[in-house]
Amino acid sequence: MKKIYTYEFVTEAVEVEISEEWASVLYELDRREYNNNHTETRRHISLDTVKNNNKAVISQEPDVADLIILKEELKMVEMAIGSLPLGQQEVIDAVCYEGMLPSDFAVSKGISRAAATDRLMRARKNLKKLL
């Protein structure tokens, strides 16, 4: 049995009579192509679409006001850390800024892991009060 298959071009459409076997192959390829195109269009958005919909593209640059606020907040954190006892300042510096584990800090200071963890917890508690 013969089937009609339509090839669609930009300017015209051409109908061809083909066997049922080839028709099933072409319909399967068309289905796969459609699914692939559908997947790709869902995954990406073009800039033309953004322009046509009058949507603004979000800038990745930080706002100057946000930078000023961040700088002020960092000053406050540094002042709060500076007001902590020396042992708590050391553990905050080692764990938070240098990325050291509390157990490694304990070994470097010659104290127990429990003491280092307790010192870190007290430092965080005091910082929460100060900030």
Given this model, what pLDDT does residue 62 score? 72
Given this model, what pLDDT does residue 40 score? 62
CA 91 – CA 73 distance, rounded (Å): 21
- The predicted model scores a pTM of 0.50
Given this model, what pLDDT does residue 36 score? 81
Per-residue pLDDT of the chain (131 residues; tens, 9 = 90+): 788 888 888 889 888 888 888 888 888 988 898 888 777 665 556 665 555 555 555 556 777 888 888 899 999 999 999 999 999 999 999 998 899 999 999 999 999 999 999 999 999 999 999 88
Say if residues 113 and 106 touch (Cβ distance below 8 Å).
yes
Q: Delimit the domains of the chain by residue range.
A: 2-52, 64-130
CA 74 – CA 129 distance, rounded (Å): 16
Architecture of domain 64-130: Orthogonal Bundle (1.10)
